Amino acid sequence: MSKRICGVDVGGTKIEAVVLNDKHKVCGKARLATPTADGPASVINAIIEAIKAAADDAGCKTNELVGIGIGAPGAVDASAGILVRAPNIPGFDKPYPLAAAIKKGCGAPVFLGNDVSVAVLGERDLGAGAKLHNFVGIWWGTGVGSGIVLNRELWHGRGAAGELGHTVIQRGGLAEPSGMVGTMEAYAGRRNMETRARDAVAAGRETNLFTLMEQAGKERLSSRVWQEALEAGDPLASELIGEAVDAIATAAANVINILDLDAVILGGGLGSRFGQPMADRIAAAMQPTLFQPDKAPPVLVAALGDLGGAIGASLLVGRHL
Amino acid sequence: MSKRICGVDVGGTKIEAVVLNDKHKVCGKARLATPTADGPASVINAIIEAIKAAADDAGCKTNELVGIGIGAPGAVDASAGILVRAPNIPGFDKPYPLAAAIKKGCGAPVFLGNDVSVAVLGERDLGAGAKLHNFVGIWWGTGVGSGIVLNRELWHGRGAAGELGHTVIQRGGLAEPSGMVGTMEAYAGRRNMETRARDAVAAGRETNLFTLMEQAGKERLSSRVWQEALEAGDPLASELIGEAVDAIATAAANVINILDLDAVILGGGLGSRFGQPMADRIAAAMQPTLFQPDKAPPVLVAALGDLGGAIGASLLVGRHL
């Protein structure tokens, strides 16, 4: 049996684990809901369960894994294996030694990275960025994360680069829950879009968004619910997605004007679900903001799809061992 | 006599030439008004006259110069020595072989660069950026140019990077003459500020801006006129400068959120004239837009001052020979 490597994408709603062979082919996978009560211990247990299930699916045990890479949605101290802060996961509002806890439960080396960073590097190595020198990955989901790849390296700056979602495109505009005003994420983050939809309903607007949510057995407006509402021509959904597209496009064009990159890669829950038609729509919406509209870079869709976060996380193992 | 090197900053209103020794010390200088009629030939003659006068001031002839570096306000084909397009200089709306023309008139090798790029690289080598790895230079003048230095190299991207002035901070806001809407330069470029001031006067607003302009013997609102009006407490000048500060600060904070750089360096005609108090004001105005306001990078003033553009241009010679 070839060497087996595990990658885990820990999100605010689900934990996705994959086991790959040394050709990066997925040979086992598992998905669990992220526990929302009981704090870190139950999340750690769920991550270990997901890894065990994916290993089982691949026909191996966790202590036979060469290593486990984990992408987590927050600030990460990679060398110490510590999840510093993950606002989207209940109980992770202070530093937690995540790598050590998973290593103890699985008996294999564990490496930690930021979820968007590992997904963007996954696209660089195995996906839509494989032939690109310089690009920005825009991960459109609960929030809007991003990663800037320059000369094929992820740009960190002093450690906190890539916050394109928190750039201002509309001074005096919508506020994020954090208090930041007029940022791209205030318009485009799925959580903020849901807040706007609930406010609109409270103010008397009609929409089938929440009916579709209930039919899907969800408690939140998932990417699938947004897609279904959009396809059904729901006016409120169309309006909010339209505003999100314009916000993403403005911020994307701004970063192109600043860095003149080769391409934009669109990923994340919403980005992957909407796919190339949405990438084309964003490309069109970028035109008025581009300094050189006749040299617009292509807007590509993340090629690794739904499992991209977990596959990207698995690449942490090869980089460290 | 040590080796003498010449640098020329060709601007829309003036041509500034300096001659430096091999320790980068200025030993001769000259300034001429940029001819606004008669097309390229008269501008070329004025550049050659300025170089001759600066050489004379330094006690040498132009054919004794090791080389001449020229910073021009527009798109430059450096390897061919061609000024591709310089919208701010009458007659340079199509490609012109500037380097060859100056070489013929002066008898020394000539190297061409973009004015903001050479000024930013001057700060990197000899000025406020000498100890910085990563910074953005924001050159606040007729327009607002910028240069991004990453790992001590100017970032070009596909060739057109650094257009921070043309990033959008206010969708649906003020328009530039080019038609771009809501960009930083629409609010902060001196030319656009003057248009707004003239429109305000036409609409009945009072201001002493144009009285000060006439007293200074100018036909445009120069940096000095803006400074005098601001110091006299002119309400319209204060209002327009305030809006410019907010626009620059928003765009500067955006680029920090994207790249997490070590510092911002403020230069250009207005930036150099207003100096550190204005840099401090911009730093304060950046706070609400920074993703990590507690880790705000310093906002420094270009250290080479008024002659920075010409000194920066002189460094082209050493890089090429």
Mean pLDDT calculated for residue range B40-65? 97
**B64, part of any domain:** yes
Nearest CA in chain B to A173: B170
Tell me if A141 sits within 8 A of A268, measured CB to CB.
Answer: yes
Give the gap in angstroms from C-alpha A95 to the nearest C-alpha of chain B.
18
pLDDT at A179 (0 to 100): 92
Mean pLDDT calculated for residue range B255-261? 98
Interface test with chain B among A133, A260, A262, A292, by most B beta carbons within 10 Å: A260
Chain A neighbors of B294, CB-CB under 8 A: none
What domain count does chain A have?
2
DSSP B176: P
Q: Point out the residue among A166, A246, A292 whose CB comes nearest to the CB of B257.
A: A166
Q: Point out the residue among B134, B156, B288 whose CB comes nearest to the CB of A157.
A: B134
Q: Is the pLDDT of residue B2 over 80?
A: no
Q: Point out the residue among B156, B181, B292 whose CB comes nearest to the CB of A160.
A: B292
Nearest CA in chain A to B149: A259
Tell me if A209 sits within 8 A of A195, measured CB to CB.
Answer: no
Average per-residue pLDDT in chain A? 95
The percentage of chain B sitting over the pLDDT mark of 70, rounded to a whole number, equals: 100
| pLDDT band with cut points at 50, 70 and 90 for residue A278 | very high
Q: Cβ B163–A291 below 8 Å, yes or no?
A: yes
Q: In b/e form, how buried is each residue of B245-283, taking b as 16+ CB within 10 angstroms?
A: bbbbbbbbbbbbbbbbbbbbbbbbbbbbbbeeebbebbb
Q: Are residues B113 and B68 in the same domain?
A: yes
Looking at A2-16, A55-69, A184-198, which range is the least confident one?
A2-16
Strands B26-33, B82-85: pairing kind: unpaired
Q: Are residues B137 and B268 in the same domain?
A: yes
Tell me if A71 sits within 8 A of A115, measured CB to CB.
Answer: yes
Q: Is the pLDDT of residue B274 over 70?
A: yes
Give CA separation, B13 vs B140, B144, B218, B272, B312, in Å. 15, 15, 11, 16, 18
Q: Is the pLDDT of residue B1 over 80?
A: no
Distance CA B314, CA A140 (A): 46
What's B202's domain CATH number?
Answer: 3.30.420.40
pLDDT at B74 (0 to 100): 87
Q: Is some CB atom of chain B closer than 8 A to the CB atom of A1?
A: no
ipTM over 0.90: yes
pTM of the model: 0.95
Q: Which two tokens stand for residue A185?
A: 């994420």
Give the gap in angstroms from C-alpha A136 to the nearest C-alpha of chain B.
10
Other Cβ atoms within 10 Å of A124 Cβ, number:
24
Q: Are residues B172 and B288 in the same domain?
A: yes
pLDDT at B134 (0 to 100): 98
| pLDDT band with cut points at 50, 70 and 90 for residue B75 | confident
pLDDT at A1 (0 to 100): 62
Nearest CA in chain A to B243: A171
- Smallest CA-to-CA distance from A206 within A167, A235, A185, A170 is with A235
For chain B, how long is the longest CA-to-CA vector? 60
Distance CA A125, CA B79 (A): 34
pLDDT digits (tens, 9 = 90+) for A169-220: 999 999 999 899 999 999 999 999 999 999 999 999 999 999 999 999 999 9
Q: Is the pLDDT of residue A267 over 80?
A: yes
- A8: three-class secondary structure by DSSP: strand
Q: Considering only residues B230 and A90, tell me which one the structure prediction assigns the higher pLDDT.
A: B230
| pLDDT band with cut points at 50, 70 and 90 for residue A37 | confident
Q: Cβ A291–B181 below 8 Å, yes or no?
A: no
Beta-carbon pairs below 8 A across chains A and B = 107
Q: Are residues A48 and A145 in the same domain?
A: no
Q: Cβ B289–A155 below 8 Å, yes or no?
A: no
Nearest CA in chain B to A159: B260
**A125, part of any domain:** no
Chain A neighbors of B158, CB-CB under 8 A: 260-262, 295, 297
Distance CA A309, CA A28 (A): 15
Mean pLDDT calculated for residue range A155-171? 96
Mean pLDDT calculated for residue range B1-19? 92
Helix axes B235-259, B268-286, angle to 10 degrees: 70
Q: Are residues A88 and A193 in the same domain?
A: no
Other Cβ atoms within 10 Å of A318 Cβ, number:
16
Interface test with chain B among A259, A261, A290, by most B beta carbons within 10 Å: A259
* Full domain range(s) for residue A242: 130-303
Q: Cβ A170–B167 below 8 Å, yes or no?
A: no
Q: Are residues B15 and B100 in the same domain?
A: yes
Q: Cβ A150–B155 below 8 Å, yes or no?
A: yes
Amino acid letter for position A2: S
Q: Give A23-52 as a 3 state SS string.
A: CCCEEEEEEEECCCCCHHHHHHHHHHHHHH
pLDDT digits (tens, 9 = 90+) for A214-253: 999 999 999 999 999 999 999 999 999 999 999 999 999 9
Tell me if B134 sits within 8 A of B117, measured CB to CB.
Answer: no
Q: Are residues A89 and A238 in the same domain?
A: no
Other Cβ atoms within 10 Å of A88 Cβ, number:
18
**B245, part of any domain:** yes
Distance CA A222, CA A141 (A): 9
pLDDT digits (tens, 9 = 90+) for B191-230: 999 999 999 999 999 999 999 999 999 999 999 999 999 9
Distance CA A305, CA A123 (A): 10
**Strand partners of residue B192:** none
pLDDT at A238 (0 to 100): 98
**A124, part of any domain:** no
Interface test with chain A among B150, B245, B258, by most A beta carbons within 10 Å: B258
Interface test with chain B among A257, A289, A290, A294, by most B beta carbons within 10 Å: A257
**B223, part of any domain:** yes
String of DSSP letters for B26-93: EEEEEEEEPP-SS-HHHHHHHHHHHHHHHHHHHT--GGG-SEEEEEESSEEETTTTEEEE-TTSTT-S
Mean pLDDT calculated for residue range A150-165? 95
**B126, part of any domain:** no
Amino acid letter for position A141: G
- Smallest CA-to-CA distance from B62 within B105, B97, B21, B29 is with B105
Q: Cβ A258–B148 below 8 Å, yes or no?
A: yes
Interface test with chain B among A250, A254, A264, A292, by most B beta carbons within 10 Å: A254
Q: In b/e form, how buried is each residue of B196-224, taking b as 16+ CB within 10 angstroms?
A: bbeebeeeeeebbbbebbeeeeeeebbbe
**A232, part of any domain:** yes
Q: Point out the residue among B134, B166, B253 whose CB comes nearest to the CB of A257.
A: B166
Q: Are residues A208 and A190 in the same domain?
A: yes
Nearest CA in chain A to B291: A166
Q: Are residues A287 and A151 in the same domain?
A: yes
Q: Cβ A166–B250 below 8 Å, yes or no?
A: no
Rg of the Cα trace of chain A?
19
Mean pLDDT calculated for residue range A31-57? 94
| pLDDT band with cut points at 50, 70 and 90 for residue B91 | confident
Average per-residue pLDDT in chain B? 95
Q: Which two tokens stand for residue B259?
A: 């790249």
Q: Point out the residue among B170, B255, B292 whose CB comes nearest to the CB of A171.
A: B170
Cβ-based burial of A77 (10 A; exposed 0-12, middle 13-18, buried ≥19): middle
**A182, part of any domain:** yes
Q: Are residues A64 and A162 in the same domain?
A: no
Distance of CA A191 to the CA centre of its chain: 13
Q: Is the pLDDT of residue B12 over 90?
A: no
Q: Cβ B160–A289 below 8 Å, yes or no?
A: no
Tell me if B298 sits within 8 A of B284, measured CB to CB.
Answer: no
Other Cβ atoms within 10 Å of A165 Cβ, number:
27
Q: Are residues B114 and B207 in the same domain?
A: no
Mean pLDDT calculated for residue range B143-161? 96
Q: Are residues A315 and A293 in the same domain?
A: no
